[in-house]
């Protein structure tokens, strides 16, 4: 589990249930009101599923996995270093020399961009192609974000419906005053679960997916800028400084090993 998800969810659970205990609430009672749990759980999940094509719901496990585990973090520093190395070789030996280098690039998007550049793709067409792929990725990511957001919107609503049902049942028991208190307490269990699921689970996960998507988009945009610079024959030093703008100032000094630029610069000079 990703550290932020683990700490955040742990604090959320601790805060809610410790507070409930301090208020004298029996935690087991929250899990024993099956009528309240059923209407909230089935109701908000059903409404969310109905809001999206079935294919989106089939990917729910992937969305939850990404939210809890986080995606593989891309190192901007490593990517910049790789781009500088490719720039050095392209200036020294030409773009065709990157054909073999491309085969060793693990990231599909990066590899595809280099292969298109090596194939002599028009710069404008290359940039449009790569940006179109980024745009399509953003749209795919929005589905998972939207699914979680919708679940977060529907959950409290069904919690209110559950509370209404509970109060209706309680009103029918007014002839038995000893049952009224427990009935009212049970009615609000549905509200609790609806609000808790929305604000403790679904909406935080939606925000997590959004942040992960923004990070991936930023990484791919860095790659696009690097590939365009390689194709244009820009100086490795200029490429390095250009791409460092994507890295926090505190990390820029270690973004590219000095040897990567210096050795490449020597090769380029020798080739000239």
3-state per-residue secondary structure call for the chain = CCHHHHHHHHHHHHHHHHHHHHCCCCHHHHHHCHHHHHHHHHHHHHHHHHHCCHHHHHCHHHHHHHHHHCCCCCCHHHHHHHHHHHHHHHHHHCHHHHHHHHHCCCCHHHHHHHHHHHCCCCHHHHHHHHHHHHHHHHHHHHHHHHHHHHHHHHHHHHHHHHHHHHHHHHHCCCCCHHHHHHHHHHHHHHHHHHHHHHHHHHHHHHHHHHHHHHHHHHHHHHHHHHHHHHHHCCCHHHHHHHHHHHCCHHHHHHCCCHHHHHHHHHHHHHHC
Q: Which residue has the higher pLDDT, 49 or 168?
A: 49
Q: For residue 159, name the pLDDT band (cuts at 50, 70, 90).
A: very high
Parent domain of 139: 33-272
Looking at the structure, tell me whether residues 97 and 115 fall in a common domain: yes
The pTM assigned to this predicted structure is: 0.79
- Range 19-32 average pLDDT: 83
Looking at the structure, tell me whether residues 81 and 133 fall in a common domain: yes
Q: Convert the pLDDT of each residue in 175-229 to its tens digit.
A: 666 666 667 777 788 899 999 999 999 999 999 999 999 989 989 999 999 999 8
pLDDT at 267 over 60: no
pLDDT value of position 251: 63
Q: Which residue has the higher pLDDT, 67 or 170?
A: 67
Looking at the structure, tell me whether residues 121 and 249 fall in a common domain: yes
Residue pair 261/238 in contact (Cβ under 8 Å)? The answer is no
Q: For residue 259, name the pLDDT band (cuts at 50, 70, 90).
A: very low
pLDDT at 150 over 90: yes
Looking at the structure, tell me whether residues 22 and 56 fall in a common domain: no
Q: What percent of the chain has pLDDT over 70?
A: 85
CA 126 to each of CA 11, 120, 154: distance values in angstroms, whole numbers, following the listed order: 46, 9, 43
CA pair distance 149, 202, nearest whole angstrom: 6
Looking at the structure, tell me whether residues 21 and 38 fall in a common domain: no
- Range 245-270 average pLDDT: 54
Rounded (5°) CA angle 205-209-214: 145
- Range 71-90 average pLDDT: 81
Question: How many domains, in total, are found in the chain?
Answer: 2
pLDDT value of position 271: 39
Looking at the structure, tell me whether residues 237 and 262 fall in a common domain: yes
CA 269 to each of CA 92, 182, 262: distance values in angstroms, whole numbers, following the listed order: 8, 84, 10
pLDDT value of position 268: 39
Looking at the structure, tell me whether residues 164 and 245 fall in a common domain: yes
pLDDT at 263 over 50: no
pLDDT, mean over the chain: 83
Looking at the structure, tell me whether residues 6 and 83 fall in a common domain: no
pLDDT value of position 175: 66
pLDDT value of position 138: 92
Looking at the structure, tell me whether residues 142 and 101 fall in a common domain: yes
pLDDT at 119 over 50: yes
Q: Of the candidates 80, 111, 105, which has an alpha carbon nearest to the alpha carbon of residue 238?
A: 80
Residue pair 226/188 in contact (Cβ under 8 Å)? The answer is no
Looking at the structure, tell me whether residues 19 and 145 fall in a common domain: no
Looking at the structure, tell me whether residues 135 and 183 fall in a common domain: yes
- Range 62-88 average pLDDT: 82
Looking at the structure, tell me whether residues 145 and 19 fall in a common domain: no
């Amino acid at each position: 589990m990703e550290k932020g998800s683990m700490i955040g969810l742990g604090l959320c659970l601790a805060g809610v249930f410790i507070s409930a205990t301090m208020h004298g609430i029996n935690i087991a009672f929250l899990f024993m009101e099956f009528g309240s749990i059923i209407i909230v759980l089935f109701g908000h999940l059903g409404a969310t599923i109905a809001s999206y094509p079935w294919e989106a719901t089939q990917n729910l496990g992937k969305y939850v996995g990404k939210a809890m585990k986080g995606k593989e973090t891309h190192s901007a520093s490593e990517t910049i270093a790789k781009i500088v190395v490719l720039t050095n070789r392209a200036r020294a030996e030409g773009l065709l020399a990157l054909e073999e280098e491309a085969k060793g690039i693990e990231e599909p998007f990066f590899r595809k961009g280099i292969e298109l550049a090596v194939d002599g793709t028009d710069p404008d067409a290359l940039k449009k192609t790569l940006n179109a792929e980024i745009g399509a990725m953003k749209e795919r990511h929005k589905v998972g974000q939207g699914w979680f957001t919708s679940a977060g919107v529907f959950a409290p609503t069904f919690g209110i419906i559950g509370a209404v049902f509970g109060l209706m049942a309680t009103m029918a028991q007014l002839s038995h005053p000893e049952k009224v208190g427990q009935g009212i307490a049970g009615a609000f269990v549905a509200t609790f679960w609806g609000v808790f699921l929305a604000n403790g689970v679904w909406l935080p996960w939606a925000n997590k997916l959004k942040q992960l998507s923004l990070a991936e988009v930023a990484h791919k945009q860095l790659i696009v800028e690097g590939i365009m610079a390689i194709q244009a024959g820009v100086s490795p030093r200029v490429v390095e400084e250009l791409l460092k703008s994507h890295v926090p100032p505190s990390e820029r000094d270690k973004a590219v090993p000095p040897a990567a630029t210096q050795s490449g610069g020597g090769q380029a000079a020798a080739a000239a």
